[in-house]
Amino acid sequence: MSDTTDAALELAGKHVLLGLSGGIACYKAAELCRLLVKAGATVQVVMTEAAERFITPVTMQALSNRAVYTSQWDAREPNNMPHINLGREADAILVAPASADLMAQLAQGRASDLLTLLCLARPLATTPLLLAPAMNREMWAHPATQRNAAQLVADGAFVLPVGQGDQACGETGDGRMLEPEELLQELVAHFQPKVLRGQHVLVTAGPTFEAMDPVRGVTNHSSGKMGFAVARAAREAGADVTLVAGPVHLPTPRGVHRVNVQSAEQMHEAVMGRLHEASVFVATAAVADWRPAAAAGQKIKKAANGAPPAVAFVENPDILAEAAATERARNGQLFCVGFAAESHDLAEHAKAKRARKGVPLLVGNIGPATFGRDDNALLLVDEHGTEALPPGPKTVLARQLVVEIARRMKG
For residue 148, which phi and psi values (nearest 5 degrees)? Answer: -65, -40
The yes-or-no verdict on residue 243 having pLDDT over 60 is yes
DSSP 3-state assignment of 13? Answer: coil
Q: Pick from 380, 301, 303, 307: which is nearest to 340 by CA? A: 380
Structure confidence at residue 4 (pLDDT)? 39
Taking residues 311-328, what's their average pLDDT? Answer: 94
Taking residues 41-52, what's their average pLDDT? Answer: 97
**Residue, of 162 and 80, whose pLDDT is higher:** 162
Mean pLDDT score of the chain, rounded to an integer? 93
Start and end residues for every CATH 3.40.50.10300 domain found in the chain: 200-296+307-410
The Cα-based distances of 20 to 12, 205, 262 in angstroms read 22, 38, 44
The question of whether 169 is a catalytic residue gets the answer yes
The yes-or-no verdict on residue 191 having pLDDT over 60 is yes
**Residue, of 58 and 76, whose pLDDT is higher:** 58
DSSP 3-state assignment of 179? Answer: coil
pTM for this model (two decimals): 0.89
Tens digit of pLDDT for each residue in 103-145? 999 999 999 999 999 999 999 999 999 999 999 999 999 999 9
HEC secondary structure over 30-60 = HHHHHHHHHCCCEEEEEECCCHHHCCCHHHH
Query: 26, 33, 119, 169: which is the annotated catalytic residue?
Result: 169
Structure confidence at residue 345 (pLDDT)? 84
**What proportion of the chain, given as a percentage, has pLDDT over 90?**
80
Structure confidence at residue 8 (pLDDT)? 65
Structure confidence at residue 171 (pLDDT)? 87
Query: What amino acid occupies position 333?
Result: Q
Start and end residues for every CATH 3.40.50.1950 domain found in the chain: 3-190
Q: Distance between terminal CA atoms of the chain? A: 35
CATH classification (class only), 3-190: alpha beta
What residues contact residue 237 under an 8 Å CB cut-off, 6+ apart? Answer: 192, 193, 194, 195, 196, 197, 399, 402, 403, 406
CATH classification (class only), 200-296+307-410: alpha beta
Q: Are β-strands 375-382 and 361-366 bridged in parallel, bridged antiparallel, or unpaired?
A: antiparallel
DSSP letter assigned to residue 156: T
The yes-or-no verdict on residue 228 having pLDDT over 90 is yes
